[in-house]
């Protein structure tokens, strides 16, 4: 395997031998004394790093820390099928029956439409970032550039949780459809452990087996995974067409007589859970580093896969609820049992086979995506850099792939689907909301370009957008039939969004591809995602809070110090070489923005005096002179 040093060079060692240097190479962890001193310095380091924003170029340069480049083999066609493979197997064969029966009834088709619209808005935001910053880090890299390191890390931990839970959920569903194919009940293929708590006592060894097979595909090559995805997806489409045609032939419109038995609340509650079905699209963004032409291929692949998938979801949900009363839908294998109920018992084997193909594609894309997230996080050293290594033969992140799928297998072995789905939806909705906020920041705030007055107006408008969205969601949750609250929160959202458009000048325009109708589309994405969060149950929020608290603890004791040491080392190296900063401290953001091509042509460039003073600031030691550097920044702003 390849093991690299901090400067990006690598040495080769045989076998799987690893040393402490692979996992904790930073200065703070080289001895217990160093670590104790680092812990004592935690407050100062946290203040230094909490709002540190990376730059576009810094994220691109971070690829060198993987020692080997990922191979650029993917086209827009590959990305479209990857996106469809990730989403279709997850949603339609896992959650449609569950939500139709328990939350929405036949109106589940509206739930898919609403969550699909929200996901499309998020996909547009992802697309602009992926084109501008084509790295494997996906939303972690985007948030690190625009919202700072701390927010990015907390989001990154939830991204990892999202992928682990997503793959675990569909792996358990794989067992359910295999049982149907073998004419058995799903629990017949699981082991009941009476000593474990409910929802955690149905052990699933088959799920572990399929995850191991997927792991082998994912580590071999991304192009090979793409070919396998083609084959599985083609078979999947054939089965989907069969379900639509055969299902509609056997449709009974009486099953739609009670269209929305759980009313609007049930529809939106189902929408929040069904957002799970669209979580796979962000895996396409993580493949930007392996895409031949990101500026062309990512928009085509990502948006087309989202539109096609939403259409398929709605048509299949319509078909399912026309075939069978929502009260009789089986939550484990809805389509197979629905065909059995209309006298087409043989069709359940075709459906089960197609479902297995679709779920396998979803697992494969999830395995590829989650490994690339972890790879880029490890490049920043907020996770051990051992996970960032890219194998020189396969061009894939083998270490990250194996580690993520091991965690997935453990979760899939124990945990039931309904527990997984709600927790996943929270992580997904929060991350998509943050990416939409980050896009607004990217367009309207550039360090050293945006004036203090414009910055304050922008912050006020974003705060009002967030506050009004939270208010709308809260009012929906506590008021059964009221409408007065919406007469307050909705106009505030409209005025705040219009305020950005009218009073805050654009600070940066996209260089290659941009989201249309900014700020309205990102603001709508924020509002809808927050509204859907209001439909998630309380226990899921508790689990989310516990996980986020764990992430904060990890960051304060490990991630912060690794990131601080790494940033200092790379800055010292760049100062010595006369290059640009690899990370962007608050007091050097003007230089980093301009060197990364972020300056807005409509604003004058920094004066020579400002540039000279920035050069002097670069020589200030981060730890010992933090206060002095902040004072220097204030002086520079006055001079400029």
Q: Is the pLDDT of residue 504 over 60?
A: yes
Using one digit for the tens of pLDDT, what is the confidence trace for 323-369?
A: 988 888 887 778 878 888 888 878 878 877 877 877 787 788 778 77
Mean pLDDT computed over 172-198:
79
More confidently predicted of 54 and 385: 385
pLDDT confidence of residue 65: 61
Residue 74: DSSP 8-state: B
Helices (H), 445-514: 452-478, 484-503
> How far is 424 from 159, CA to CA, in rounded Å?
9
Q: Is the pLDDT of residue 463 over 90?
A: yes
Q: Is the pLDDT of residue 114 over 60?
A: yes
Mean pLDDT computed over 367-381:
82
% of the chain at pLDDT higher than 90: 16
**Helix 294-323 and helix 76-92, axial crossing angle in degrees, nearest 10:** 30
- The three-class DSSP label of residue 182 is coil
Mean pLDDT computed over 530-548:
82
Phi and psi for 445 in degrees, rounded to 5? -140, 115
The answer to whether the CB of 372 falls within 8 A of the CB of 12 is: no
Which of 14-18, 107-111, 572-576 is predicted least confidently? 14-18
pLDDT confidence of residue 600: 40
> How far is 202 from 627, CA to CA, in rounded Å?
56
Q: Is the pLDDT of residue 634 over 70?
A: no
Q: Given pLDDT bands bounded at 50, 70 and 90, which one contains residue 6?
A: very low
Place of tokens 């071999």: 220
Which span out of 89-103, 353-367, 461-475, 537-551 was modeled with the highest average pLDDT?
461-475
Q: Given pLDDT bands bounded at 50, 70 and 90, which one contains residue 465?
A: very high
In sequence order, which residues have a C-beta less than 8 Å from that of residue 235 and are 6 or more positions away?
Answer: 353, 354, 357
**Helix 263-274 and helix 520-533, axial crossing angle in degrees, nearest 10:** 110
Mean pLDDT computed over 624-639:
41
Place of tokens 């058995």: 184
Is residue 164 left, alpha or beta, with left meaning phi > 0 and alpha meaning psi from -120 to 50?
A: alpha
pLDDT confidence of residue 270: 87
The answer to whether the CB of 163 falls within 8 A of the CB of 139 is: no
Taking all residues of the chain, what is their mean pLDDT, rounded to a whole number? Answer: 78
Q: What count of other Cβ atoms lies within 10 Å of the Cβ of residue 69? A: 13
Residue 218: which H helix or E strand, with range? helix 205-220
Among 383, 394, 413, 417, CA closest to 561: 383
Which span out of 132-136, 470-474, 583-587 was modeled with the highest average pLDDT?
470-474
Mean pLDDT computed over 557-584:
69
pLDDT confidence of residue 611: 37
pLDDT confidence of residue 398: 84
Among 170, 198, 158, CA closest to 90: 170
Mean pLDDT computed over 129-140:
81
More confidently predicted of 145 and 393: 145
How many CA atoms lie less than 13 Å away from 33 in the CB half-sphere?
A: 0
Mean pLDDT computed over 484-508:
92
List for the chain the helix, strand, coil content (%; round to 5).
Answer: 75, 0, 25
Among 281, 284, 355, CA closest to 316: 355
Q: 71-432 maps to which CATH number?
A: 1.20.1740.10
More confidently predicted of 57 and 278: 278
Among 240, 281, 212, 271, CA closest to 535: 271
Mean pLDDT computed over 575-579:
56
pLDDT confidence of residue 585: 40
Q: Is the pLDDT of residue 128 over 70?
A: yes
Which of 126-140, 209-223, 609-623 is predicted least confidently? 609-623
Place of tokens 């949780």: 161
DSSP string for 229-289: HHHHHHHHHHHHHHHHHHHHHT--GGGGSSS-TTHHHHHHHHHHHHGGGGGGGHHHHHTGG
β partners of residue 584: 53
β partners of residue 11: 3
Using one digit for the tens of pLDDT, what is the confidence trace for 286-320?
A: 787 878 888 888 899 888 988 998 999 999 999 99
pLDDT confidence of residue 435: 92
Domain segments of the chain: what residues?
A: 2-11+23-49+541-639, 71-432
Using one digit for the tens of pLDDT, what is the confidence trace for 579-623?
A: 444 444 433 333 334 334 344 433 444 333 333 343 343 343 434
């Amino acid at each position: 395997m390849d093991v690299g040093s901090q400067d990006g060079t690598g040495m080769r060692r045989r076998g799987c031998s690893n040393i402490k240097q692979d996992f904790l190479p930073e200065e703070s962890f080289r001895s217990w004394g160093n670590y104790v001193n680092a812990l004592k310095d935690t407050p100062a380091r946290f203040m230094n790093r909490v709002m540190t924003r990376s730059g576009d170029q810094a994220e691109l340069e971070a690829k060198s820390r993987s020692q080997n480049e990922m191979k650029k083999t993917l086209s827009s066609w590959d990305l479209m099928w990857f996106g469809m493979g990730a989403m279709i197997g997850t949603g339609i064969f896992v959650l449609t029956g569950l939500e139709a029966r328990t939350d929405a009834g036949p109106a589940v088709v509206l739930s898919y439409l609403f969550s699909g619209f929200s996901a499309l808005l998020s996909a547009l935001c992802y697309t602009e970032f992926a084109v501008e910053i084509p790295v494997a880090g996906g939303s972690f890299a985007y948030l690190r550039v625009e919202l700072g390191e701390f927010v990015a890390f907390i989001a990154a931990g939830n991204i990892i949780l999202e992928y682990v839970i997503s793959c675990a959920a569909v792996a358990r569903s794989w067992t359910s459809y295999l049982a149907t194919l073998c004419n058995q009940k799903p629990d017949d293929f699981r082991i009941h452990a009476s000593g474990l708590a409910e929802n955690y006592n149905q052990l699933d060894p088959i799920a572990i087996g399929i995850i191991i097979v997927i792991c082998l595909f994912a580590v071999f090559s991304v192009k090979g995974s793409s070919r396998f995805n083609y084959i599985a997806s083609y078979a999947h489409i054939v089965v989907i067409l069969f379900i639509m045609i055969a299902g509609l032939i056997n449709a009974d419109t009486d099953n739609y007589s009670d269209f929305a038995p759980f009313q609007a609340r049930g529809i939106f509650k189902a929408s929040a859970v069904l957002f799970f079905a669209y979580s796979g699209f962000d895996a396409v963004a993580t493949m930007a580093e392996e895409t031949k032409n990101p500026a062309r291929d990512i928009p085509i692949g990502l948006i087309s896969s989202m539109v096609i998938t939403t259409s398929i979801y709605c048509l299949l949900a319509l078909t399912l609820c026309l075939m069978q009363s929502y009260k009789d839908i089986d939550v484990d294998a809805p389509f197979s049992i629905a065909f059995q109920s209309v006298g087409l018992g043989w069709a359940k084997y075709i459906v089960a086979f197609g479902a297995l193909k679709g779920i396998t594609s979803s697992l494969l894309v999830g395995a590829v995506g989650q490994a690339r997230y972890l790879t880029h996080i490890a490049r920043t050293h907020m996770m051990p850099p051992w996970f960032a290594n890219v194998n020189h033969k396969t061009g894939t992140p083998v270490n990250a792939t194996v580690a993520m799928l091991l965690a997935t297998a453990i979760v899939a072995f124990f945990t039931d689907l309904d527990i997984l789905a709600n927790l996943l939806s929270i992580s997904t909705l929060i991350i998509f909301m943050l990416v939409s906020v980050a896009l607004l920041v990217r367009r309207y705030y550039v360090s050293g370009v945006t004036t203090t007055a414009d910055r304050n107006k922008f912050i006020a408008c974003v705060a009002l957008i967030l506050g009004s969205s939270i208010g709308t969601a809260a009012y929906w949750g506590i008021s059964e039939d009221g409408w007065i609250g919406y007469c307050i929160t909705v106009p505030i959202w409209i005025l705040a969004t219009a305020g950005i458009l009218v009073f805050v000048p654009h600070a940066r325009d996209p260089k290659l591809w941009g989201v249309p109708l900014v700020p309205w589309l990102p603001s709508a994405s924020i509002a809808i995602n927050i509204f859907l969060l209001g439909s998630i149950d309380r226990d899921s929020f508790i689990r989310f809070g516990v996980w986020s608290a764990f992430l904060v603890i990890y960051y304060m004791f490990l991630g912060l110090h690794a990131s601080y040491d790494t940033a200092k080392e790379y800055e010292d190296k760049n100062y010595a070489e006369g290059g640009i900063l690899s990370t962007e401290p608050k007091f050097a953001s003007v230089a980093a923005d301009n060197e990364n091509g972020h300056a807005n042509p409509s604003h004058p460039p920094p004066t020579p005096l400002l540039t000279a003073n920035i050069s002097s600031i670069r020589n200030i030691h981060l730890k010992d002179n933090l206060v002095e550097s902040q004072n220097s920044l204030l002086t520079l702003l006055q001079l400029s």
